[in-house]
């Protein structure tokens, strides 16, 4: 005869799936995709160094007045008494570099080069971030719609992307910015120029991220969780905004990070060609354009050029590390 079952006591509680017991009695807690990516990113020293420099550049742009107040002079103040009246060359070695003028002086007018490089970060980063935001919003919406619906919608959006990608953007930007008057759309001065550059760079660059998001959406729409949402009667707005977009945040974040440096280079190129933000507002590209006339003074071009180089390199290193953290198979 078998012993009777003891049914009086309650069954032991089962621990949640996210918490398991490992060796030595220690609990093992499950981690989200973001936590796993962050742990990978922390081990990538090059990417973390790039992220650190990016943070420093953003802080420099935000606190430019305080930094210039401590270490420099107002960017528009002339110091013509510190330049040679005959040649316009700054007096002193290395272009007038000293503790008062860390990067030296601009030829002829004697403006503080350090202050202008610091303030130039504001224009470059502001335009790059806003233009990237415009590209990401338009490209994500177009890519998700094309990938989810397919058919003639996908064909129409795909041909639109091809047209934008074939558009001579640089020529169009030079023509448009040069044709717009000083006052338009209720804006004037630097505000108008910044708005135009953000529109041109952001609106015409969305197909790059749009194609990536379309490809990701084509893969995600066949997944089980999308089929489950359809079987429960969910409509397409719910599936797109509640099911697909949360799973697209990783590629959106990665390629937005990689798009920022290209926008910085494009803004600098337009300023170098004279169709960006107009002087006397300091921009890195505009400073390089002014330095062309003084090729015998290399410091005049080195510092703004190095600012562009370090900024673009830092964003690229951070973006590559972020991509490897979210998808180690790309290594």
Residues 122, 57: Cα–Cα separation, whole Å: 9
pLDDT higher than 50, residue 17: no
Q: What backbone torsions phi and psi does residue 28 show, to the nearest 5 degrees?
A: -115, 115
Higher pLDDT, 64 or 233: 64
Cβ–Cβ under 8 Å, residues 149 and 281: no
Share of the chain above pLDDT 70, in %: 86
pLDDT value at residue 325: 79
Non-local CB neighbours of 278 within 8 Å, separated by 6+ positions: 190, 193
pLDDT in tens, 291-327: 887 776 777 888 888 999 999 999 998 888 888 777 6
Q: Which three-class secondary structure state does DSSP give residue 61?
A: helix
User: Tokens for 282?
Assistant: 């300091």
Non-local CB neighbours of 173 within 8 Å, separated by 6+ positions: 197, 200, 201, 270, 275
Sign of the C-alpha dihedral computed for residues 285, 290, 294 and 299 taken in this order:
negative
pLDDT value at residue 21: 53
79-88, 120-129, 269-278, range with the lowest pLDDT: 79-88
pLDDT in tens, 99-125: 877 887 887 777 888 888 999 999 889
pLDDT band at 144 (very low <50, low <70, confident <90, very high): very high
Angle between helices 169-179 and 249-272 (to 10 degrees): 60
pTM of the model: 0.82
pLDDT in tens, 233-260: 888 888 888 888 888 888 888 888 889 9
Residues 99, 210: Cα–Cα separation, whole Å: 49
Calculate the CA 118 to chain-centre distance.
18
pLDDT value at residue 24: 52
pLDDT higher than 90, residue 59: yes
Non-local CB neighbours of 117 within 8 Å, separated by 6+ positions: 103, 282, 284, 287, 303, 304, 307
Q: How many CA atoms lie within 13 A of 159 on its CB side?
A: 5
Average pLDDT, the chain: 81
pLDDT in tens, 184-198: 777 777 788 888 889
Cβ–Cβ under 8 Å, residues 249 and 113: no
Residues 132, 38: Cα–Cα separation, whole Å: 23
49-58, 127-136, 235-244, range with the lowest pLDDT: 235-244
What are the structural domains of the chain? 57-326 (1.10.3720.10)
pLDDT higher than 60, residue 25: no
pLDDT higher than 90, residue 279: no
pLDDT value at residue 142: 92
pLDDT band at 169 (very low <50, low <70, confident <90, very high): confident
């Amino acid at each position: 005869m078998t012993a009777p079952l003891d049914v009086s006591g309650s069954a032991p509680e089962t621990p949640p799936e996210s918490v398991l017991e490992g060796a030595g009695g220690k609990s093992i807690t499950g981690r989200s995709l973001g936590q796993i990516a962050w742990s990978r990113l922390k081990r990538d020293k090059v990417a973390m160094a790039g992220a650190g420099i990016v943070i420093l550049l953003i802080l420099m742009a935000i606190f430019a007045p305080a930094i210039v107040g401590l270490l420099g002079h107002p960017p528009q103040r002339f110091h013509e008494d510190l330049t040679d009246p005959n040649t316009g060359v700054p007096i002193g070695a290395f272009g007038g570099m000293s503790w008062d003028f860390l990067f030296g002086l601009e030829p002829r007018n004697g403006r503080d080069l350090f202050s202008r490089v610091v303030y130039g970060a504001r224009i470059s980063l502001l335009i790059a971030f806003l233009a990237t935001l415009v590209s990401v919003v338009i490209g994500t919406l177009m890519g998700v719609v094309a990938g989810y619906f397919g058919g003639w919608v996908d064909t129409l959006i795909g041909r639109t992307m091809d047209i934008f990608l074939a558009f001579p953007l640089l020529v169009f930007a030079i023509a448009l910015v040069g044709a717009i008057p000083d006052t338009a759309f209720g804006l004037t001065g630097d505000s108008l120029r910044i708005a135009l550059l953000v529109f041109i760079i952001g609106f015409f660059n969305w197909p790059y991220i749009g194609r990536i998001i379309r490809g990701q959406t084509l893969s995600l729409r066949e997944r089980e969780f999308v089929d489950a949402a359809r079987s429960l009667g969910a409509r397409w707005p719910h599936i797109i905004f509640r099911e697909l977009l949360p799973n697209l945040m990783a590629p959106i974040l990665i390629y937005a990070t990689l798009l920022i440096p290209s926008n910085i280079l494009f803004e600098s190129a337009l300023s170098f060609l004279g169709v960006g933000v107009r002087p006397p507002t300091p921009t890195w590209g505009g400073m390089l354009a002014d330095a062309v006339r003084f090729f015998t003074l290399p410091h005049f071009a080195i510092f703004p050029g190095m600012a562009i180089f370090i900024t673009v390199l830092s964003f690229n290193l951070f973006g590559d590390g972020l991509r490897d953290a979210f998808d180690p198979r790309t290594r």
